[in-house]
Amino acid sequence: MNTFFSVQNIDNLQEIVKEALALKANPYAFKSLGQNKMLGLVFLNPSLRTRLSTQKAAMNLGMDVMVMNMDKDGWALETRDGVVMDGTTVEHIREAAAVMGEYCDILGLRSFPGLKDRKEDYSEDLFNKFIKFCNKPVISLESATRHPLQSLTDLITIIEHTPVTSKEANGTFTTVAHKPKVVLTWAPHVKALPQAVPNSFAEWMCKAQEEDLLSFTITHPEGYELDESFTKGATITTNQEEALKNADFVYVKNWSSYHEYGKILVTGREWMPTVEKFKVTNQARVMHCLPVRRDLELASELLDSPASLVIKEAGNRVWAAQAVLKRMLDQLV
Amino acid sequence: MNTFFSVQNIDNLQEIVKEALALKANPYAFKSLGQNKMLGLVFLNPSLRTRLSTQKAAMNLGMDVMVMNMDKDGWALETRDGVVMDGTTVEHIREAAAVMGEYCDILGLRSFPGLKDRKEDYSEDLFNKFIKFCNKPVISLESATRHPLQSLTDLITIIEHTPVTSKEANGTFTTVAHKPKVVLTWAPHVKALPQAVPNSFAEWMCKAQEEDLLSFTITHPEGYELDESFTKGATITTNQEEALKNADFVYVKNWSSYHEYGKILVTGREWMPTVEKFKVTNQARVMHCLPVRRDLELASELLDSPASLVIKEAGNRVWAAQAVLKRMLDQLV
Amino acid sequence: MNTFFSVQNIDNLQEIVKEALALKANPYAFKSLGQNKMLGLVFLNPSLRTRLSTQKAAMNLGMDVMVMNMDKDGWALETRDGVVMDGTTVEHIREAAAVMGEYCDILGLRSFPGLKDRKEDYSEDLFNKFIKFCNKPVISLESATRHPLQSLTDLITIIEHTPVTSKEANGTFTTVAHKPKVVLTWAPHVKALPQAVPNSFAEWMCKAQEEDLLSFTITHPEGYELDESFTKGATITTNQEEALKNADFVYVKNWSSYHEYGKILVTGREWMPTVEKFKVTNQARVMHCLPVRRDLELASELLDSPASLVIKEAGNRVWAAQAVLKRMLDQLV
């Protein structure tokens, strides 16, 4: 694997989930694989989980890690081509990426969207240029439109918490996983947030649905439709209660409008998931990528209940990152 | 040891000092102990000595380290419970702590007091929540009311520099440590500083006095009385000259008022320790936790003289941290 | 080697270039040399290449590394002696340097000039105090007047890309390096930049010229003369076209005036190197220390052409740093 940017970089979801869970069971089994290999993590935006879990994953594999807070410790980047750089940007992404490629064997990059110009954000121009010019395998640590390490983590967490049942046929017992109903629900927020996490979650769940691992439903207020290229195959409804019925996993996330780009259309506080609302579910587990705003996006009572998977989910970020890094290292040798 | 937050986490002071000095003599003796163990250092405030010495200590033990400048690289933390998070805080300490606990085997946290609300600061709410929710051993890297790694360092430095004399009785020679007089003196400053360092130093020295290792005196201008729970057993006087008489170690530190919380009551420039003032001491060594403001808190002539232990003291921060980390690692296995 | 601050710390340039290229060929050959040795990198200013390449070099040698962003994560430093520290500076360089020396075996420091007071900048007061008080070997990561890791890198890159020819005499073949013409040309910029890189490049190239490795020419607009102590032996001209004739390597760099200290005297956009201007060269390779402002300092067409060495040059920063660190480690043992 040369790039980990979207679900399209993974052929078989079940397989990589299996690999990740094997690493979770045995974190240091490949400690010699990363010997003398350098991971560079480049942040243009804040990060807690991604920063720490990806470092941890790399160290588990024996890699060295360097973290670059480009926005604070480095230089302001230019991404446009053909401009005379006589303004405030100090270094072009072409050189910055190429130079970091000289020092690292694998690079990770986080870059949030501006949420002003949809075409620009969705072109993933900065990310594509980084991939092109650094000349090394690149892991997305969240780009303008996707957060694949989070989505892989989410899938791992869902599969890990899906009960397996034993079935008898003609005297032979086989274990069969229950096919869970997974629901992505929009939730209120006070700030305009990117669509990266819901886009990414949707494209991973749609593919998991194709692989017959689960069924996938999205619910949000009118006007919050995501870009259709991410949601193909999903059941989509603006009726949250309907969506929650018999749900096994409920993924809670706010996002700003895609169609009226970057706008907050409704305050929508009635969309906040609560224990009461969860009564129609199949004792659903609640998930969130974090950070979560308590009692705005998600009721504390739910977050602090046994239904919540958010901490275990965050913990699984290590194994998602480690599975991806391992695949890249395997190819480097 | 599961928490290192105050002197109460240490049963026997002499013992941990001995352990620290053994590590100083042989820094890499336990390099395999920390193999595949992760230390996370979380800073909500600036740090030089603590940041570097604790990293160094962990690496000496073979641990991996991740540093998180929460105030700059992460998200603004909420600590209050039961609030709707629709303001400026992005993540609750409950989740932030729990998530970091997922990635680390031991955590360190630095968090300064606000110096506005004494009750809030002295409740150590943030720290206690961090300990509770991270679910891992926690080392204080300085909290609102204490700085225990500094105080352990100070004790190590005092014992290390206390002359040992040989005594004869009935033809048998035994070595006897001189019982030094240790003085904590308030010193002037232009900013309102926390009471964490003097509180902590006081509680460690009071316990050391109980263990018969030294005698302990505190001197400060009127109005600068520390919280009595930290100073029980100490001789306290507002007469600096009286306090300095026959002192063996003089610990210099500014703090703002505890009773008129966070206030600077007097400019008190006459309280600055000088060579002249030290003439009444027993050729005392001068100590300070650093950073020190020259010729405001402490006369340069004293700081640059052989009486000064401040650099060796700072160097000893490594062995204090390493002794604490080693105890925690011993329990993890 | 106890200090790496200027070309004067290197006896024989050819030798250290040879060592660096040997490390490039075999990066991990000395991985045990740095075992249990700590490198501390202290930044008072932003850094990308220096930060990452020096970390990488140290890790290649098996060292541990701690990075300290003194300007952000630590305390504001005082450098003047004899002042009462009752202002905004929190810690004196005397203590800060000494303390970091306690935790590290080798230290690196980056500190840019203020460009206000030439005498102060050129005294290198901060750097000299750091060296004096830390009591450990120190590598300059760029000081007010020099950037020696960059200059060593540049020399490595020039020698690496200088064609070697085979010569016959009396039936014996010997390989002879072509003696390249190296040109440093001033280039336009919108900000007032330090003279550190051109000073340093000049003093290294002048010494390389003395060692008969190359010939060295400097060209700049009138008023941009560098301090003569750095340029002794160089051919200096204000005629850029003349300078570029038959050049093999063209080093492009902006700097502010030394004589009218820190001033931008001319916009000088006609000084930007282009493909057209390069026609008089001997198919010269173009070099730059980066970050470079495209189409202001240097034409994109040239930067993106095969003539450009800038990325390979940046890559070589690792081997320059590793050669210097290795020499220091050799002396520590």
Give the type of residue at C54: T
Tens digits of residue pLDDT in B128-149? 999 999 999 999 999 999 999 9
Of B91, B102, B104, nearest to A291 by CB-CB distance is B91
Please count the residues of chain B. 333
Tens digits of residue pLDDT in C223-232? 999 999 999 9
| Interface check B68 vs A, CB under 8 A | yes
Among C137, C21, C14, B96, smallest CA distance to A49 is for: B96
Q: Over range A175-198, report the average pLDDT.
A: 93
Q: Over range A291-303, report the average pLDDT.
A: 97
**Which residues of chain B neighbour A312 with C-beta distances below 8 Å?**
102
Cα–Cα distance, B23 to B31 (Å, whole number): 11
**Which residues of chain A neighbour B95 with C-beta distances below 8 Å?**
290-292, 310-311, 314
Q: Over range A171-188, report the average pLDDT.
A: 87
Secondary element (H or E) of residue B237: strand B235-237
B8 annotated binding-site participant: no
Q: Within 13 Å of residue A216, how many CA atoms lie on the same side as its CB?
A: 24
Cα–Cα distance, C198 to B49 (Å, whole number): 35
Do C278 and C240 touch, CB atoms closer than 8 A? Answer: no
Q: Supply the pLDDT for residue C75.
A: 82
Residues 102-131 of C with CB under 8 A from B: 102-104
All chains having 3 or more CB pairs closer than 8 angstroms to chain C: A, B
Contact assignment for C295 to A95 by CB distance below 8 Å: no
All chains having 3 or more CB pairs closer than 8 angstroms to chain A: B, C
Tens digits of residue pLDDT in C62-106? 999 999 998 778 888 999 999 999 999 999 999 999 999 999 999
Residues 6+ apart with CB under 8 A from C24: C316, C318, C319
Q: Supply the pLDDT for residue B253.
A: 98
Q: Please check the confidence at residue A307 and state whether its pLDDT lies above 90.
A: yes
Alpha helix segments (H runs only) across chain B? 13-25, 49-60, 70-73, 93-103, 118-123, 125-134, 148-160, 196-210, 228-231, 240-244, 300-303, 310-332
Q: Please check the confidence at residue B333 and state whether its pLDDT lies above 80.
A: no
Of B2-6, C167-171, C218-222, the range with the lowest mean pLDDT is C167-171
Number of Cβ within 10 Å of residue C232's Cβ equals 12
Residues 73-102 of B with CB under 8 A from A: 73-75, 78, 82-87, 90-92, 94-96, 98-100, 102
- Provide, rounded to the nearest whole percent, the portion of chain B with pLDDT above 70: 100
Among C4, C20, C46, C7, smallest CA distance to C291 is for: C46
Banded pLDDT at A171 (limits 50, 70, 90): confident
Residues 6+ apart with CB under 8 A from B38: A56, A59, B63, B64, B65, B66, B103, B104, B105, B106
Banded pLDDT at B174 (limits 50, 70, 90): confident
Q: Supply the pLDDT for residue C174.
A: 75
Q: Supply the pLDDT for residue A71.
A: 76
Q: Is the dihedral of CA C102, C108, C112, C117 positive or negative?
A: positive
Q: Please check the confidence at residue C176 and state whether its pLDDT lies above 80.
A: no
Q: Supply the pLDDT for residue C168.
A: 78
**Which residues of chain C neighbour B292 with C-beta distances below 8 Å?**
91-92, 95
Cα–Cα distance, C123 to C225 (Å, whole number): 19
Q: Supply the pLDDT for residue A169.
A: 77
Q: Please check the confidence at residue A160 and state whether its pLDDT lies above 90.
A: yes
| Helix orientation angle between A13-25 and A148-160, rounded to the nearest 10 degrees | 80
Distance from the Cα of B71 to chain C's closest Cα (Å) equals: 10
Q: Supply the pLDDT for residue C76.
A: 87
- Most B CBs within 10 A among C103, C107, C136, hence the mutation to make, goes to C103
Q: Over range A97-123, report the average pLDDT.
A: 97
Task: Enumerate the domain spans of chain B.
Answer: 3-147+317-332, 162-308
Cα–Cα distance, A90 to C321 (Å, whole number): 24
| Interface check C39 vs B, CB under 8 A | no
Please count the residues of chain A. 333
Q: Supply the pLDDT for residue A64.
A: 97
**Which residues of chain A neighbour C59 with C-beta distances below 8 Å?**
38, 64
For domain A3-147+317-332, the CATH class is alpha beta
Tens digits of residue pLDDT in B39-56? 999 999 999 999 999 999
Do A271 and A243 touch, CB atoms closer than 8 A? Answer: no
- Give me C197's structure tokens: 């890189």
Domain C162-308 in CATH 3.40.50.1370: yes
CATH topology of B3-147+317-332 equal to that of B162-308?
A: yes
Of A27, A49, A59, nearest to B99 by CB-CB distance is A49
Q: Supply the pLDDT for residue A304.
A: 97
Cα–Cα distance, B31 to B63 (Å, whole number): 8
Q: Supply the pLDDT for residue C127.
A: 96
**Residue A295 Cα distances to A28, A180, A191, A300, B85, angstroms:** 39, 27, 15, 6, 6
Of A175-179, B193-197, B226-230, C236-240, the range with the lowest mean pLDDT is A175-179
Q: Using CA coordinates, name the residue in chain B closest to C41.
A: B52
Banded pLDDT at A174 (limits 50, 70, 90): confident
All chains having 3 or more CB pairs closer than 8 angstroms to chain B: A, C
Among A300, A34, A280, A64, smallest CA distance to A181 is for: A280
Banded pLDDT at B58 (limits 50, 70, 90): very high
pLDDT: which is higher, A129 or C269:
A129
Distance from the Cα of C113 to chain A's closest Cα (Å) equals: 17
CA angle, B136 as apex, B133 and B138 as ends, to 5°? 95
Cα–Cα distance, B66 to B73 (Å, whole number): 13
Q: Over range B239-246, report the average pLDDT.
A: 98
Residues 125-164 of C with CB under 8 A from B: none
Of A43, A56, A295, nearest to B103 by CB-CB distance is A56
Which residue ranges of C are tagged as binding site? 47-50, 75, 110, 142, 147-150, 189, 253, 289-290, 293, 317
Do A218 and A231 touch, CB atoms closer than 8 A? Answer: yes
Q: Supply the pLDDT for residue B169.
A: 78
Cα–Cα distance, C77 to C70 (Å, whole number): 8
Give the type of residue at B103: Y
Q: Please check the confidence at residue A175 and state whether its pLDDT lies above 80.
A: no
Distance from the Cα of A167 to chain B's closest Cα (Å) equals: 35
Adjacent-strand bridge partners of C288: none
